[in-house]
Amino acid sequence: MSPPKHHPVPINILQEVFGYSAFRGQQAEIVDHVTQGGDALVLMPTGGGKSLCYQVPAIVRQRAGHGVTVVVSPLIALMHDQVGALEEAGVHAAFLNSSQSQEEAQHIEREMLAGRLSLLYAAPERLNTPRFLAQLTSLHERGLLSLFAIDEAHCVSQWGHDFRSEYLSLNLLHERFPDVPRIALTATADDITRADIIERLQLQDSRVFIASFDRPNIRYLIVEKDKPKEQLLRFIQEDHDGDAGVVYCQSRKKVEETAEWLRAEGVSALAYHAGMDSDIRRRHQDRFLREDGIVMVATVAFGMGIDKPDVRFVAHLDLPKNIEGYYQETGRAGRDGEAAQAWMAYGLADVVNQRRMIDESPSTEEFKQVQRGKLDALLALAEATDCRRQRLLAYFGEESEPCGNCDNCLHAPATWDATESARMALSCIYRFRQNGGQRFGAGHLIDVLRGKETEKVRQYGHQHLSTWAIGASLGEQQWRAVLRQLIALGHVVTEGEFHTISLTESARAVLKGEVQLLLRQPTTPARKGKTSRTGTSGKRATLVDPELAPDAQFRFNSLKAWRAEVAREHGLPAYVIFQNVTLAEMARQHPRSLEELSGISGVGAKKLEAYGEDLLRVLGAH
């Protein structure tokens, strides 16, 4: 190993390369630990600043003569932008993936083997190839294999929501190169997933850093499905006109339909799912990253590794599988720390679907049991009448106070005692069984309870049941809420193609009146107009524009136009050149010299050199 020439200090790298004045939260501690060769498992929410936790050590160690950091990241589609951002900051980085020509790949391999690269990004499947392993071995023998960074580490666990079998072979790295330090990072992992990551990656001896999972700038809103597409449209029009956002749907078909519908309603919406032509998919992703104000309607295939900082909302039209999934997906909003919203519409059909998907999956009973438990936790969140954030954080093992920035905190929901109604529903299901052994779905059950004489009612003679019309005083929506809760709590189950309902063992206690059921009062969809509760404050409380004085606003617009041109020339998203917050700071402070410019957060040495003069010109300093 060549002797280290000099030992740069992490804080200097942060300031010089990234243009930031200080580390945030646990970053400093993590960076020190990893720079000195320690192993680490880092759990930090999206937007918490995970990238710097391995990028700064990578740069410090490379400058100290330790060679290349290999970053394992599952999404090759995004490596280009990640590497572009580093190169913009003057860090020599590259990626190897299947999209490259042989020539390109060979050039990068040479840079890597010479130890000149600070960071090399690679997909997990590449690590298994004999060619790549031989190259790593060669680096290692010469003391030039500095560090392994394993991004999205939850992919190694089958309990996580994004299991990838290629990740399983990552423990190979540790077996082959036991003395090379490793840092594994994830934004989402509950207890069981954490334990699994540690075991599978053999990180038993590593230090575990767990940051608070709170994302205080994200407001959580969960509404009951009524006409979901219209609810979504109203949410976008009232709170997020012109904003970038992501809308998650479960099926590809629904993705396409929803995107088309939103477009017809005047929203700049694009579709994204795994079944689409890969060129179109890439084009849509590029437009989302590069243009302002695109709404991406997508399956969960979209989003991992998307580090666009100014996504202002994430909406769910279907229930996610569990809280980790929900938190990961909603976490893509507001990475820049500005106000953002996570909105979800959920209904009875969601509960039924998710339960059925678990039941019908080919997994072991143990696995299904875990999945059911996770779904239950999510349902409890959706039905909650208390603080959403408190529940979310509690799920990740954190205690907190009511947040003041979720729908329930802002507007305490009305509740009603549904104990009697639940008993009516259960005894009606019981009567069906007695009366011919037939099972029925929720729709018919509600018709009978409400005394609605349909053809089916007459066909089965259900107007003669003792439970006929006993629940006429409740509306259909309320009945749906009761059933949803009964399914969520496991007192009834739905089965088969027609989702017929039957009682479980635990229904007995409810029937006997031993269990009290307190439900949210259905929210009336008449919440019209710019509601006082979200209104503009929920929209972009601290975002740049409204605060800027007119001349500063003018400078901000000029800077954005300049940035758009540079981004286009470099084939990179605009935020890779400078983030909005940085441009806004320039517009506000109005620096007149390179010296003043360098004091602005986000302006590192390389960017100052490359763009300083141009910026001063745009700012009218010359």
Binding partner of residue 23 among Zn ion, ligand ADP, none, CB under 5 to 8 Å per kind? ligand ADP
Positions in 318-337 near ligand ADP (CB under 6 A):
335-336
Stretch that binds ligand ADP, among 44-52, 63-71, 504-512, 587-595 (CB under 6 A): 44-52
CB nearer to ligand ADP: pick between 217 and 341 = 217
Provide CB contacts within 8 A for 175, sequence distance 6+: none
Q: Does 403 bind Zn ion (CB under 5 A)?
A: yes
Q: What does the alpha-carbon distance between residue 311 and residue 281 come to, in Å, rounded to a whole number?
A: 19
Q: Minimum distance between the CB of residue 211 and ligand ADP, rounded to whole angstroms?
A: 9
Q: What does the alpha-carbon distance between residue 343 and residue 218 come to, in Å, rounded to a whole number?
A: 10
Q: What does the alpha-carbon distance between residue 230 and residue 236 come to, in Å, rounded to a whole number?
A: 10
Q: What does the alpha-carbon distance between residue 167 and residue 252 come to, in Å, rounded to a whole number?
A: 26
Contact, 74 vs 152, CB < 8 A? yes
Q: Minimum distance between the CB of residue 214 and Zn ion, rounded to whole angstroms?
A: 11
The alpha helices in 14-99, defined as continuous H runs, are 27-35, 50-63, 76-88
Provide CB contacts within 8 A for 306, sequence distance 6+: 78, 285, 288, 289, 332
Tally of CB atoms within 10 A around 78: 18
Binding partner of residue 403 among Zn ion, ligand ADP, none, CB under 5 to 8 Å per kind? Zn ion
Binding partner of residue 48 among Zn ion, ligand ADP, none, CB under 5 to 8 Å per kind? ligand ADP
Q: Please select the residue that binds ligand ADP; options are 50, 312, 316, 484, rule is CB under 6 A.
A: 50
**DSSP structural state of residue 406:** B
Q: Please select the residue that binds ligand ADP; options are 8, 10, 49, 347, rule is CB under 6 A.
A: 49
Q: Please select the residue that binds ligand ADP; options are 26, 35, 46, 330, rule is CB under 6 A.
A: 46
Contact, 146 vs 67, CB < 8 A? yes
Nearest to 470 by CA among 525, 529, 534, 422: 422
Find the helix or strand (DSSP H, E) in which 301 lies. none
Contact, 538 vs 406, CB < 8 A? no
Q: Please select the residue that binds Zn ion; options are 406, 422, 510, 600, rule is CB under 5 A.
A: 406
Q: Please select the residue that binds ligand ADP; options are 11, 16, 20, 368, rule is CB under 6 A.
A: 20
Per-residue string for binding with ligand ADP, 283-322, x by CB under 6 A?
A: ------------------------x-x-------------
Q: What does the alpha-carbon distance between residue 256 and residue 233 come to, in Å, rounded to a whole number?
A: 15
Binding partner of residue 24 among Zn ion, ligand ADP, none, CB under 5 to 8 Å per kind? ligand ADP
Binding partner of residue 387 among ligand ADP, Zn ion, none, CB under 5 to 8 Å per kind? Zn ion
Q: Minimum distance between the CB of residue 406 and Zn ion, rounded to whole angstroms?
A: 3
Which residue has 């509760």 as its token pair? 533
**Total number of residues binding ligand ADP (CB under 6 A)?**
17
Q: Minimum distance between the CB of residue 20 and ligand ADP, rounded to whole angstroms?
A: 4
Stretch that binds ligand ADP, among 41-49, 166-174, 402-410, 503-511 (CB under 6 A): 41-49
Per-residue string for binding with ligand ADP, 82-101, x by CB under 6 A?
A: --------------------
Q: Please select the residue that binds ligand ADP; options are 11, 29, 37, 51, rule is CB under 6 A.
A: 51
Q: Minimum distance between the CB of residue 394 and Zn ion, rounded to whole angstroms?
A: 12
SS3 call for 614: helix
Positions in 576-595 near ligand ADP (CB under 6 A):
579
Q: Minimum distance between the CB of residue 19 and ligand ADP, rounded to whole angstroms?
A: 9
Tally of CB atoms within 10 A around 536: 11
Q: Does 24 bind ligand ADP (CB under 6 A)?
A: yes
Binding partner of residue 389 among Zn ion, ligand ADP, none, CB under 5 to 8 Å per kind? Zn ion
Q: Please select the residue that binds Zn ion; options are 42, 294, 409, 600, rule is CB under 5 A.
A: 409
Q: Minimum distance between the CB of residue 516 and Zn ion, rounded to whole angstroms?
A: 24
- Which residues make beta-bridge pairs with 427? none
Q: What does the alpha-carbon distance between residue 571 and residue 560 come to, in Å, rounded to a whole number?
A: 16
Positions in 375-394 near Zn ion (CB under 5 A):
387, 389
Q: What does the alpha-carbon distance between residue 394 and residue 412 come to, in Å, rounded to a whole number?
A: 20
Q: How far apart are the first and last CA of the chain?
A: 50
Q: Fill in the amino acid letter for 461.
A: G
CB nearer to Zn ion: pick between 189 and 218 = 218
Phi and psi torsions of 499, nearest 5°: 55, 45
Strand 93-96 and strand 119-122: pairing? parallel
Contact, 240 vs 293, CB < 8 A? no
Q: Which residues bind to Zn ion, rule: CB under 5 A?
A: 387, 389, 403, 406, 409
Contacts with ligand ADP by CB under 6 A lie at: 20, 23-24, 27, 44, 46-52, 307, 309, 335-336, 579
